[in-house]
Structures are given as C-alpha cells and as structure tokens.
Amino acid sequence: MSSDVFSEILSGLYDNKVVPYLGPGVLFDATNKTTGEPMPADSTSLILAMNNGQPMAPKLMYEFPRAAMNQELKRGRNFLGQFLTKVYGETEWTRATLHDWLNEWRPAYVIDINRDTQLQDSYADEEHTLITGIARIAAQPNRYKLYHYDGSDYFEIPEEQVDRRLPILFKPMGTPRPDANYIASDADYVDYITELMGGFAIPEFLKEYRKQKQYLLIGMPLNRDSERMVMSDIVYAAAEPKGWVLNKNPTDKEKRFCKKMGLEIIDAGVEDLLDAAGFLAPYKQTA
C-alpha cells in the first residue's frame, strides 16, 4: 500500500483529527506474565477462556455475546463479571506494543472496545476523563459512567464537572477499574445498543466533541453485528469519509459494510501501522 496513506493517517492522529478506535487485534502481543499465554481478547479466545479452554456448541462459538448469554442463563450474571474481572483485573499481562506507542503521544480521545486496563495504564500519570459503558440499570436512563482521574485515583462525577481540556478514554464495553462493569452478554448488548441509538449511552459533551472527526479502526474486525452496531453509533456525526479500517483479509460482508459506512479498508495490520509510525517494537526486536 502507499506510504502516503499512512502519512495522512498518522498526521491526522497526531493532530487529534483522527480518533484511534481499538479492537481486540491491538492486544496481539500481550501475554500472561506467568504462563506466556496470549491475552484472550477476540471473541473465540474469550469463549475458550470462559469455558475452561473447551469449545462450546458451534452456534455459541459464533460470537462471545451469544456464548456469554448462555453462561449467564446457566450460572448467573455475576459469573460473567467475575470471569472478566479475573482475566482483565487480576491477571498480570505484558504490555501491548500498540499501547506503548499510544503512551508516547497520548491521543486526546481514544475509543477502546477491549475490557482490559492497558489504555488506562498509559494515562496513569496524567489527569483524564474515563467513560465506561453500563447496561441493564433500572435506576437511570443513561448507559454510561463518567470518572475523573486526578493522577492517582478515579472519582465518579456528573457531566457538568467534566474538564473538557483533559484526554477522553471511552471504554464502551467496560473495564474492571475503577468499578467492574461490563457489556458482555446478548442481553447487555441489546440494552446498550438500544440506548446508544436513543442517545443515552454517550454524554452530551462527547456528542459535541466527536463532530466531524475521522476514525482509524485498529485491530477491529467488522464481521459481527454487535461490534458493527456499537461502532456505527459511536462514530455518528463523523466527517466524510469517516476514516479507515486496517484489515488484510476483509470478508465480502466487511467490504460491503465499510463501503456503506464510508470507511476505506487499508491492506495492513497493527504491525504495519507501528512500523509506519517508526515505533521500534519489542515484537521486531525479538524476531
């Protein structure tokens, strides 16, 4: 592919005109510090981790929310929260190279659909605003929580207290820190996406901030409806064209969806982006 395309994208990223949208592929080189096993991030690896390494029925292996719904019905909703907290909040992982790169230049706004804490760790010495998705909460219509990080701790805040000068970390599918809340099962996604479409899953200040932004989808497959529907609403009011998707082997379904959305598919992966950015990555040093 042309180096001019990456030059344009990187320039937009560094100018905070292009927003990084992180999918499971950004964690490709994060491993368990004890066992060396890869972090379960994509749908299949999460299902296997949830089911003690054993595959589930083919219809459940289709995507994690479906398998998670099956386990929620059998074992209760708390089981899913405990499982995800153990994986992402209690297990020690090596740093993903992509997150080390982000740590160097600290984007003003990052969307991360993964449930791990590495993005938050990248901003651990800097004040920021954290937005996390929540689902199936009867007490309020909003499907998000807002936190201010003061450099050492998180504090939940109302929207009127948001400091708009600070970086924004948006974790729509949740995180174990500071409060363990997750969008995981089909029922969670149905509730969250419904309220996302209704405007209740994104705070007003972010609705204004995101206008006319472009997006770079990194390590983000678009072959499942859940991820596509979440992404479509989060990038609402984007510029035209909306941006780019890194994908070396797009399916016909992904090609059609990206054309409809106004996203250009780039024949490249996460490693190619890091190389284009001139980032000396550990995965290259040990190769």
Kindly indicate the confidence band of residue 139, based on its pLDDT and cuts at 50, 70 and 90: confident
pLDDT digits (tens, 9 = 90+) for 226-281: 999 999 999 999 999 999 999 999 999 999 999 999 999 999 999 999 999 988 65
Which residue range is the domain that position 230 belongs to?
3-285
**Res. 282: pLDDT tops 70:** no
Average pLDDT, the chain: 95
The reported pLDDT for the residue numbered 287 is 41
- Distance separating alpha carbons of residues 263 and 257, to the nearest angstrom: 8
Amino acid at 79: F
Kindly indicate the confidence band of residue 286, based on its pLDDT and cuts at 50, 70 and 90: very low
- Is 0.85 surpassed by the pTM of this model? yes
Share of the chain above pLDDT 90, in %: 93
Kindly indicate the confidence band of residue 96, based on its pLDDT and cuts at 50, 70 and 90: very high
The reported pLDDT for the residue numbered 2 is 55
Residues in the chain: 287
Q: Please count the structural domains in the chain.
A: 1
Candidate from 109-118, 135-144, 175-184, 266-275 with smallest mean pLDDT: 135-144
The reported pLDDT for the residue numbered 284 is 52
pLDDT digits (tens, 9 = 90+) for 25-50: 999 999 999 999 999 999 999 999 99
Share of the chain above pLDDT 70, in %: 96
The reported pLDDT for the residue numbered 280 is 63
Phi-psi category of residue 271: left, alpha or beta, with phi > 0 → left and psi -120 to 50 → alpha: alpha
Averaged over 69-73, what is the pLDDT?
A: 97
